[in-house]
């Protein structure tokens, strides 16, 4: 399965496991890489650049295939040690970086000097064009369906992907609502050259999270996510639970007067509690609407092989059969 994405990153299949907080660890990233996809460690899950360097080494012990590192640039009064994390990436011989959050322009010369390919996550065409203009090599186009931060434009992938195809010259992958062969074939028909999956990879055997998290995703339907932090213009799609209901009640009560401090009990420090301890009802944690399409917990190898096999069946049997049917008079 050859696309500009597989050629750019040197992988077998255009299937990406994007960075996920307290999920993008060596176990999952290596499993995706060994199955022929492109996995990303999550830099900011690691408490320090030294810890990231150790995680890169640990991942290399599990795979000899290409993998990358996600770096999310957050607006903060006290930002993480970004120079240290990026140096750890360079020293670790990483050649693929997934950037998200703020504009990565400041770091692009350093990435380029070290032969690192950059795929930037964007929720709008205008942001994707800016990423292309500053030298990013590829885009992860995140539709409104995605878990995590879908932006504020609320454009779903059936519109966003073909719009990106109309405007972009660099390759892009579809993110948000991606779960299976149908997702991949549809995304490629709309102009993407691969797909990025988050929630689907969260529900795999190698995902290093509490079993409660995987079971919560299995039980969820496409109706069980909520949008939180909209009044703060920091919208996040999360799985509904009692903590999220409390958060939404505060938003309704306080309206435009709400501050992050008001919802901190349901947001701050949530990922260790959920992903490591399994307290899935404590508060807000990212989950896509695609949960409604997740019905099992396979290994990454099983999942990727199934997607590739069923994609070929869709293209060569179902779709080709439709095209080749005789025209009715």
| Secondary structure of the chain as H, E, C letters | CCCHHHHHHCCCCCEEECCCCCCCCHHHHHHHHHCCCEEEEEHHHCCCHHHHHHHHHHHHHHCCCCCEEEEEECCCCCCCCHHHHHHHHHHCCCCEEEEEECCCHHHHHHHHHCCCEEEEEECCHHHHHHHHHCCCCEEEEECCCCCECCCCCCCCHHHHHHHHHHHCCCCEEEECCCCCHHHHHHHHHCCCCCEEECHHHHCCCCCCCCHHHHHHHHHCCCCCEEEECCCCCCCEEEECCHHHHHHHHHHHHHHHHCCHHHHHHHHCCHHHHHHHCCCCCCCCCECCHHHHHCCCCCCHHHHHHHHHHHHHHHHHHHHHHHHCCCCCC
Confidence of residue 324 (pLDDT cuts 50, 70, 90): low
pLDDT at residue number 75: 81
CA angle 155, 1, 295 (to 5 degrees): 60
Pick the CATH number of 4-207 from 3.40.50.2020, 3.40.50.1820, 3.20.20.70, 3.30.300.30: 3.20.20.70
Question: What distances in angstroms separate CA 75 from CA 79, 80, 100, one per listed residue?
Answer: 7, 10, 11
Residue 323: is its pLDDT beyond 90?
A: no
Q: Quick: pLDDT tens for 293-308.
A: 999 999 999 999 999 9
Q: Quick: pLDDT tens for 160-219.
A: 999 999 999 999 999 999 999 999 999 999 999 999 999 999 999 999 999 999 999 999
pLDDT at residue number 318: 83
Task: Give the residues across from 100 on adjacent strands.
Answer: 72
Residue 127: is its pLDDT beyond 70?
A: yes
Confidence of residue 78 (pLDDT cuts 50, 70, 90): confident
Average pLDDT score over residue span 10-22 = 97
Residue 327: is its pLDDT beyond 70?
A: no
CA angle 222, 242, 213 (to 5 degrees): 60
pLDDT at residue number 43: 98
pLDDT at residue number 329: 54
Residue 72: is its pLDDT beyond 90?
A: yes
CA angle 198, 173, 177 (to 5 degrees): 45
pTM (two decimals) = 0.95
Residue 325: is its pLDDT beyond 90?
A: no
CB hemisphere CA count around 300 (13 angstroms): 25
Task: Give the residues across from 196 on adjacent strands.
Answer: 16, 175
Confidence of residue 9 (pLDDT cuts 50, 70, 90): very high
Residue 118: is its pLDDT beyond 80?
A: yes
Assigned token pair, 58: 């640990």
Average pLDDT for the chain:
96
Q: Quick: pLDDT tens for 28-39.
A: 999 999 999 999
pLDDT at residue number 317: 84
pLDDT at residue number 111: 98
Confidence of residue 326 (pLDDT cuts 50, 70, 90): low
Domain residue ranges of the chain, discontinuous segments joined by +: 4-207, 212-276
Q: Are 96 and 89 in contact (CB under 8 A)?
A: no
How many beta carbons lie within 10 A of that of residue 329, not counting itself?
Answer: 3
User: Among 47-61, 193-207, 309-323, whose mean pLDDT is lowest?
Assistant: 309-323
Q: Quick: pLDDT tens for 225-283.
A: 999 999 999 999 999 999 999 999 999 999 999 999 999 999 999 999 999 999 999 99
Confidence of residue 312 (pLDDT cuts 50, 70, 90): very high
Assigned token pair, 315: 């293209």
Q: Any idea how long the chain is?
A: 329
Q: Are 181 and 314 in contact (CB under 8 A)?
A: yes
Phi, psi of 138, deg, nearest 5: -160, 165
């Amino acid at each position: 399965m050859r696309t500009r994405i597989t050629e750019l990153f040197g992988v077998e299949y255009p299937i990406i496991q994007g960075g996920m907080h307290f999920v993008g660890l060596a176990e999952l990233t290596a499993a995706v890489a060994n199955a022929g996809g492109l996995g990303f460690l999550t830099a900011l899950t690691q408490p320090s650049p030294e810890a990231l360097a150790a995680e890169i080494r640990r991942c290399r012990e599990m795979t000899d295939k290409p993998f990358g590192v996600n770096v999310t640039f957050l607006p903060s009064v006290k930002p993480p040690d970004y120079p240290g994390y990026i140096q750890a990436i360079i020293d670790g011989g990483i050649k693929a970086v997934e950037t998200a959050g703020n504009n990565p322009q400041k770091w692009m010369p350093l990435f380029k000097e070290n032969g690192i390919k950059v795929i930037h996550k964007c929720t709008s065409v205008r942001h994707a064009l800016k990423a292309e203009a500053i030298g990013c090599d590829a885009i992860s186009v995140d539709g409104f369906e995605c878990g995590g931060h879908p932006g504020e434009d609320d454009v779903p992938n059936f519109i966003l992907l073909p719009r990106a195809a109309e405007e972009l010259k660099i390759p892009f992958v579809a993110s948000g609502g991606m779960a299976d062969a149908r997702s991949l074939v549809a995304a490629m028909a709309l102009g993407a050259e691969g797909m990025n999956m988050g929630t689907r990879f969260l529900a795999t055997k190698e995902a290093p999270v509490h079993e409660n998290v995987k079971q919560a995703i299995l039980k969820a339907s496409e109706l069980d996510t909520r949008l939180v932090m909209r009044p703060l213009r920091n919208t996040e799609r999360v799985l509904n639970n009692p903590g999220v209901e409390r958060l939404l009640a505060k938003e309704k009560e306080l309206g435009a007067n709400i501050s992050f401090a008001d919802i901190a009990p349901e947001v701050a420090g949530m990922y260790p509690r959920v992903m490591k301890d399994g307290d899935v009802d404590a508060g807000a944690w990212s989950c896509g609407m695609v949960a409604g399409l997740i019905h099992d917990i396979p290994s990454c190898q099983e999942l990727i092989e199934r997607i590739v096999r069923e994609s070929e069946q869709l293209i060569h049997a179902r779709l080709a059969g439709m095209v080749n049917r005789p025209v009715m008079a």
